[in-house]
């Protein structure tokens, strides 16, 4: 049975949109998803299912999430092969960089060219990024909490929904599938 990863944007952050992982797991199982596993409290889930496409999964999960918890959350779903491809393409791996300062921002849709150009007009002295397809690889040497290239900034420039994970989480999820 195919494996998938679902990322939930903005749950359990700053006391907002709180969902216990056991409740999230039960909700996903009620959709017929198998082997559901959560990873940390920030909305990372690995599961198996063979009857939905990724777009159908997003729709089903978002609808059930609203029905169950009463709020909307952006959800992105990736097949195991898509996730492994994202991890393998990180252009910063193999460079002399502290991997604890690597992050991956996953875009819900393809940004428009003019918005990509707008983002490119900003230069941050030490922070670097590479946009490949719908994945933005980040290196933020002073930590993500102090990063100029944070989720809010990136969304405001690219005009798409984005969820960001640190490199450790990306690798942990890859190992779970």
The predicted-structure confidence for 73-120, as pLDDT tens digits, reads as follows: 899 999 999 999 999 999 999 888 899 999 999 999 999 999 999 999
- Single out the residue of 18, 42, 55 nearest to residue 103, CA to CA: 42
Residues 140-165 pLDDT 10s? 999 998 999 999 999 999 999 999 99
SS3 169: helix
What domains sit in the chain, N to C, each tagged with a CATH number?
3-82 (3.30.70.1280), 89-176 (3.30.70)
The per-type count for the chain, helices as H runs and strands as E runs, is 6, 8
Q: Using only C-alpha atoms, what is the Rg of the chain?
A: 16
- Single out the residue of 118, 126, 125 nearest to residue 154, CA to CA: 118
Whole-model pTM: value is 0.92
Distance CA 89, CA 136 (A): 11
């Amino acid at each position: 049975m195919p494996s998938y990863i679902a990322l939930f944007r903005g749950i359990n952050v700053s006391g907002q949109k709180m969902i216990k992982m056991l409740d999230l797991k039960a909700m996903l199982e009620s959709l017929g998803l198998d082997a559901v596993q959560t990873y940390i409290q920030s909305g990372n889930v690995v599961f198996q299912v063979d009857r939905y496409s990724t777009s159908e999964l997003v729709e089903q999960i978002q609808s059930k999430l609203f029905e169950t918890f009463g709020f909307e959350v952006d959800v992105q779903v990736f097949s195991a092969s898509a996730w492994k491809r994202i991890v393998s393409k990180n252009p910063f791996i193999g460079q002399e960089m502290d991997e604890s300062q690597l992050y991956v921002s996953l875009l819900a849709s393809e940004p428009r060219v003019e918005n990509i150009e707008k983002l490119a007009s900003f230069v941050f002295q030490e922070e670097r990024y590479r946009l490949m397809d719908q994945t933005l690889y980040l290196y933020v040497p002073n930590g993500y909490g102090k990063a100029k290239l944070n989720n809010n900034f990136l969304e405001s420039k690219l005009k798409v929904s984005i969820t960001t994970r640190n490199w450790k989480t990306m690798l942990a999820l890859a190992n779970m599938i």
